[in-house]
Structure 1
Amino acid sequence: MCLALGPECAWCSQEDFMAGATQKGRCDMVFNLMKKGCQSEFIENPTIRVTIPSDHKANTQVTPGEVSIQLRPGGKASFMLKVHPLEKYPVDLYYLVDVSASMHNNIEKLNSVGFDLSKKMANISLDFRLGFGSYVDKTVSPYISIHPERIHNQCSDYKLDCMPPHGYIHVLSLTDNIAEFKNAVNKQKISGNIDTPEGGFDAMLQAAVCQSHIGWRKEAKRLLLVMTDQTSHLALDSKLAGIVIPNDGNCHLKDNVYIKATSMEHPSLGQLSEKLIDNNINVIFAVQGNQFHWYKDLLPLLPGTVARQIESEAANLNDLVVEAYQKLISEVKIQVDNQVQNLHFNITAICPDGSRKTGMEGCKNVAYNEEVLFNVSVAMKGCGITEGRKYVIIKPIGFNETTIINIYKNCACQCEDSARHKRICVDETFLDGERTNCEDTNCSSSEDTFPFERCKLHPDQPICSGQGDCIGGRCLCHKTRLGKVYGKYCEMDDFSCPYYHGNLCAGNGECEAGKCKCFRGWEGDRCQCSLLTAKHCMNSKGQICSGRGACVCGKCECTDPRSFGRFCEYCPTCNNACDENRNCVQCHYSNNASQTTHDQCKTSCAYMVHYIDPASVSPKLQWRKFLSSG
């Protein structure tokens, strides 16, 4: 436990060290331990090391291919990663085409694409291959018409003979035989459906994960060109058809047909992004019409993608592919896969022009003879529940090479009995219930029988709100991709509460346990309303919403279903004035009124409240006096 408190803390395992002293004296700075008489060979103080194994995998584009890092809690290590794009890559280009009826003219244009495009790509690629697949939508209502006369010909309205609708069909595996590609496109019929969005994301995921069917090559740059003129359905859309099984992200092609289209949901954007990156797929959205901007807005959520607009009848399709490909290979950005709890990565890209960017932002306009350097810093915040060797993968997006980082977490003393010396390592058992803290140049401890109880906001809540680790009675909050977790009990964060006009809790509160805790003077579930707006709910008598509703952000919400109006002032079937005033009688009594009663009086009867002493006035006079005041 001592080593887990900070990078400066060390443990003395010498048996006769400070004889008679408590265990807390064994955990201290190295200098202090030696000053107290601990011999250097008995001091447990793991070092932080970065090594590149001599037998590591040799990469061409991404070096080093493997790194080993020894870390301890609170420690940080750094190394440089180099990405060197090649001059000419083999290229696999798979056309994934929306074959709904409105795409008829664009599909005809594909007939002349293969030969012309292969000539253009010869200048920038050593080896170019083409493949082809088609998609429409899920073949269930309400996405397609199930009328008997239209079930097999969805586009009868276009006076065309259509093939039956389908989720996704893999038509042609990647090939360098351009004539074969042209023949496959010539045979392609259009199809149709009845709703506007298509099943594009369903088909994209299958084209990415069904590697053996498509024929993706390991050494090639993989391009998935999606041609469409409509948006795509998203996850949960399929619930309209009663499909509730989440997409499992696996390949489900049988005889080159996607067989799970009617039983499994569309993938989420996050899931699709993960599968595209895992399979080194770069996407080119070639979109015709007004939906181009819908796809353009998705680009930040799908790394390694570009969007281009198709001109009428796809006249610019060849140039579009070449331009998009050159843009993709000139961008170098990386991400961290297989993240390990309590490890925090900070990555800075050093671009050829000297500028510095974050790892995910990366560098643009990188030429094939230039290198991009990434300063990778790894910090270990705590041990968590697992120790030993872990590994993390640094992956340049769209590249088929990676860097594997082996992390060795040193959280415990390496104490072993020997023939000459007996070592004492009782810090790991924590049986003495001590809490030790290591700060600056001093390691101290204090008695605390139940250190984990000090890490709970309330006794019935999880330790560190379930968002951190309890070390020595103090919470060390987890780092997440979503945002920052903070607070004494890790109860606060900057991402899990509702936003208002782009600001968390409207900028007028803090996020605590998933709910906005408003600063003074603000209210609402997003802290979007000033308390000053309550004056807009007060009627001419000084009542808030006429006593029949609540003031929410300056507007009355009538709680009495019989009332209506701006101030809930209209209520034809409510009690008459005498009956209403009778409810405020108790507000005139000063003796032993509860806080609830006082609050109600301020809200509903504020305009007539003035307390009297009931002992000095007869009941009949009290009632007359009250009516006259109302």
Structure 2
Amino acid sequence: MDVRSIIAVFGLFCLVDSQSDEAGCNQKRYCNDCINFHPDCAWCNDKEFAKARCSVNRTLKDDGCREIKNPNNTEFKTKNDGLKDGSFEYDPIQLTPQAIKLTLRKGKTHSLLMTYRVAKNLPIDIYFVMDASYTMATRIKDVADRIGDLIDGLKKSFTENIEIGFGVFIDKPVQPFTITTPRVLENPCLIQSTVCEPTYGFIHRQRLNNNTSEFIDTIRNTSTSSNFDPMEGGLDAVMQAAVCPQIVGWRNRSRRVLVYISDAGFHFAGDGKLGGIDLPNDATCHMVPNVRAQRAIIGEYIYSHSKILDYPSYGMLAKALKDNNINAFFLVDKSHVHLYQGLTDMIDQSKTMRMDATGSQGVVKQINDYYKELSERVKITGVNLPPELHITVATNCSVSTIVNTYKLPTDTKDMCTNLVVGKEVIFNVSVTLTECPKEDVNRTFKLVPSGLQEHLEIEVDYSCDCDCEKSAELDDKCSNKNGTYECGMCRCKPGRYGEFCQCSRAEGDTTEVMEGKCI
């Protein structure tokens, strides 16, 4: 088949499809039904119009209609600050625009653009959640010895604006997780013939700040403790670090990184029942000032509900980290990598790695490499996506000519990788209203680069109703108020029909009988 024949056949298909749409439009009797039937249907609002009021826009114009209702999608940027790098004086902007208002018509796809750029001097918050068990004493010392190298490396590669903090965990101080005889409660390291701190669930030791010397001193002065069973209460600690931003000190515009270090496995939801704890975890902050020897330790907070609430579930922890835009990196002993991998497979922007056998220097490199991975990739996720919207995101990444497209929120792959500072990536977001919701409400949802505080907030309104129907009222035009006059025609009361509602329907009348009576 030659090119002309192909074009002719394609044109024929388009014509048939157009005629099919028009025929479907013609069957709609009222304005709302008309505009919601198909995005190409339009309504003639003239008071006097003898042809079908619902048709395609071109036909209505050809038939002489002067007032046509044919809603279009609209877009208005309500916040559109330009991209900029960060500094100590002001926050960076990596995503633009920041807020949009859309008006959507059912079935009519709207495309909008947003731009992302990796900024220089993006603030970094790194919070260490460390296992303070007796067996971790050497690892804790390693972190203290090498934290300066970590900070120097991050400053050299990424930003001067870095804050660090940390907390420590053991496990719930109840049987069977901990031996609760008075002597062992006082010194859980009795079996190791040494002295250590009483068992606790989680203690926040240092709020995020840029004082590296204070961080090192506080870690070096951290006492170890112990529990009885081989698993630890690390998930309680991660949950509290995620849901207590005021205590931890997470900043509003930073990239938040939680580094978890342990040589043991973890307890999760349901295990608390072994200790008589039936209440499920509530994903709420329960940190209170830490008191030792009747004296509050300045800056320290302890998890108050360790004996009250069960451990969190995988899903609950994943939600808490995502909701608070926290990127989690788990560095664990080689024998437990598989366990933590099962956890991080469920958590967006998280990763599990074996603690490097080369010691503290290897740990520093692993954390640096993890942050480099985070900064070089971007994925757009949705928050509070309305069920009636179909949303896709497409981009031509700076490192590829392939356009990746996925539907929110089901696809979780990274959209762009190997990004570099200063390089822009443009996302084309397509939004389609698939069904008009029953309730007449505005919707607001967000598109978020995973693991970052920035987002595009989109407020949507729907063109599902004709304004002329909202102003309908009983009118003498409609046979002594036997119907309402709206959108250029009469909408009859039940039992009435005809152009002006001038006819009554008798019980059992068919459409043919009614048409014969109503002349």
Deviations 1:64-108 (A, max 9, x none): 112222112222111122110113322221111011233222112
In the other structure, the counterpart of 1:47 is: 72
From 486, 502, 508, the equivalent of 1:424 is: 486
What displacement does 1:423 show? 5.5
CA contact (8 A) 2:472 2:486 kept: no
CA contact (8 A) 1:245 1:264 kept: yes
In the other structure, the counterpart of 2:24 is: none
In the other structure, the counterpart of 2:416 is: 363
**Take 1:409 and 1:243, find their aligned partners in 2: how far apart are those partners?**
48
In the other structure, the counterpart of 2:463 is: 410
Q: 1:99 to 1:349 in 2, by over 3 A?
A: farther
TM score, norm. by length of structure 1: 0.62
Number of residue equivalences: 424
CA contact (8 A) 2:243 2:284 kept: yes
CA contact (8 A) 1:15 1:423 kept: no
What displacement does 1:426 show? 11
Q: State yes or no: 1:82 paired with 2:109.
A: no
What displacement does 1:374 show? 1.9
In the other structure, the counterpart of 2:132 is: 99
CA contact (8 A) 1:387 1:410 kept: no
In the other structure, the counterpart of 2:160 is: 126
From 381, 390, 393, the equivalent of 1:344 is: 390
Q: 1:259 to 1:429 in 2, by over 3 A?
A: farther
Written as runs of structure 1 = structure 2, the 5 A alignment for 1:207-606 is: 207-255=241-289, 256-312=301-357, 313-354=359-400, 355-358=402-405, 360-361=412-413, 362-415=415-468, 417=471, 424=486
Question: Residue 335 of structure 1: SS of its match in structure 2?
Answer: strand
TM score, norm. by length of structure 2: 0.74
CA contact (8 A) 2:122 2:255 kept: yes
**Take 1:299 and 1:285, find their aligned partners in 2: how far apart are those partners?**
8
CA contact (8 A) 1:286 1:307 kept: yes
**Take 2:97 and 2:288, find their aligned partners in 1: how far apart are those partners?**
40
What displacement does 1:165 show? 1.7
**Take 1:190 and 1:428, find their aligned partners in 2: how far apart are those partners?**
82
In the other structure, the counterpart of 1:9 is: 41
In the other structure, the counterpart of 1:601 is: none
**Take 2:266 and 2:207, find their aligned partners in 1: how far apart are those partners?**
24
CA contact (8 A) 1:350 1:375 kept: no
Q: State yes or no: 1:205 paired with 2:200.
A: no
Q: 1:341 to 1:247 in 2, by over 3 A?
A: same
Question: Residue 101 of structure 2: SS of its match in structure 1?
Answer: strand
**Take 2:110 and 2:139, find their aligned partners in 1: how far apart are those partners?**
53
**Take 2:489 and 2:246, find their aligned partners in 1: how far apart are those partners?**
53
**Take 2:39 and 2:354, find their aligned partners in 1: how far apart are those partners?**
54
Counterpart amino acid of residue 385 in structure 1: K
Deviations 1:164-193 (A, max 9, x none): 222211001112222211221122111222
From 62, 70, 73, the equivalent of 2:106 is: 73
Q: State yes or no: 1:146 paired with 2:180.
A: yes
Please list every run of 5 or more consecutive structure 2 residues that lacks an aligned counterpart in the other structure: 1-31, 84-92, 290-300, 407-411, 478-483, 496-519
Question: Residue 183 of structure 2: SS of its match in structure 1?
Answer: coil
Question: Residue 93 of structure 1: SS of its match in structure 2?
Answer: strand
Counterpart amino acid of residue 50 in structure 1: E
Q: 1:431 to 1:48 in 2, by over 3 A?
A: farther
Question: Residue 326 of structure 1: SS of its match in structure 2?
Answer: helix
Choose between structure 1 and 2 for higher RCO, CA contacts under 8 A separated by at least 6 residues: 2
What displacement does 1:318 show? 1.5
Q: 1:26 to 1:93 in 2, by over 3 A?
A: same
Counterpart amino acid of residue 4 in structure 1: N
What displacement does 1:407 show? 1.0
Which structure has the larger Rg over C-alpha atoms?
1
Identity %, equivalent residues: 29
Deviations 1:295-343 (A, max 9, x none): 2343332111222221345442222221111111111111000111211
What displacement does 1:204 show? 1.1
**Take 1:12 and 1:245, find their aligned partners in 2: how far apart are those partners?**
62
What displacement does 1:348 show? 2.3
CA contact (8 A) 1:341 1:384 kept: no
**Take 1:168 and 1:288, find their aligned partners in 2: how far apart are those partners?**
20
Q: State yes or no: 1:30 paired with 2:60.
A: no
Q: 1:243 to 1:410 in 2, by over 3 A?
A: farther
